[in-house]
Amino acid sequence: MDKPLENTNFNTLRNSWQKLVAPYQHSDLHRSLWQLANSLIPYLALWGLMVFSLRISIWLSLAITIPAAAFLMRIFIIFHDCGHGSFFKSKTANKWVGFFVGVLVFTPGENWWHDHAVHHATAGNLDRRGVGDVTTMTVQEYQQSSTWKRLTYRVFRHPLGMFIVGPIMIFLILNRVPSPGAGKREKLSVIYTDLAILIIFALMSLAIGWKTYLLLQVTVSWLAGAVGVWMFYIQHQFENVYWVRNSQWDYTLAALKGASCYRLPKVLQWFTGNIGFHHIHHLSPRIPNYYLERCYNENPLLHAAPTFNLISGLKSLSLRLWDEQAQCMVGFRAARVKPA
């Protein structure tokens, strides 16, 4: 259920949130290493099991891709935290661990981390859309667009486009090239990641054949990516989300009203690295994932963010456009009638 952010709560949080989150803005080396171990070891073991089970049945191997994808999601959260510099105290450790786990999730570190930092600095800002976010048009922009642009936008925003085609496009294709305007460091990260992926592809092709490897890897990446895209979608696409023009944009409100709290069953929360407490993550990206729930539980003021569960969150699937007049997300039907 979406909880309103009362003005009194917001005013209190505006003045106190930095003190609230400060105790959690540090990494714990033992917890980070344990998370690496309980994510990477099962994932690699499941890959070994997939290869071994090919002797029995390709269908058995494909069944194992489901738990493998769950662990790959968890590995992506480690990659994500490394980009924020929150997983280790050492910048060097974050960089190198982030690079290697980035290869596993088919995402070049420096390039993605740069775009994601832009996302954190612009989330909810209508005048700074387009980098690291879910493409969102206003009702007026949609009405004034060409037929072709409206069609492509409808295809992109359709669940089949976002969660079936989208993960393949993002992780296996778009991540293979630098983002527009990328700097030298970002471009090199793409090149090095692609080279590492090619080496893995060559070795796995020799071991089990390129067709079999592609079938398994694409399936694992698609399953993990589809859930990842949904998590990112529900965290920033809901009815009373925060979208304002640049002159009105507020960092604290963008975090507390523009990012949701997605309460998942404990098992799913574990595999998604607590990223459902997304409003806290946007308040302070320096908090490692394993402290997000603790920060939420120990600070009742942070419970005022828009909150959803597995069922209530599904309503967001029908929302496609931002209505600036009504200040809410709406479906395509709302754009059929031209404004007076």
- What pLDDT shows up at residue 84? 97
pLDDT tens digits for 185-220?
A: 999 999 999 999 999 999 999 999 999 999 999 999
pLDDT tens track for 121-132? 999 999 999 888
Helix residue spans in the chain (DSSP H): 7-21, 29-53, 58-84, 91-104, 109-122, 139-144, 147-157, 159-160, 166-167, 184-208, 210-236, 251-256, 266-271, 278-283, 292-297
* pLDDT (0 to 100) of residue 223: 97
Give residue 340's pLDDT: 41
Alpha-carbon distance 238 to 29, whole Å? 36
In this predicted structure, what is the pLDDT of residue 1?
46
Q: Is the pLDDT of residue 338 over 70?
A: no
For residue range 268-323, what is the model confidence (pLDDT) as tens digits? 999 999 999 999 999 999 999 999 999 999 999 899 899 999 999 999 999 999 99
In DSSP terms, 307 is beta-bridged to 261
Which phi and psi (to 5°) does residue 106 adopt?
60, 40
pLDDT score of 76 more than 60: yes
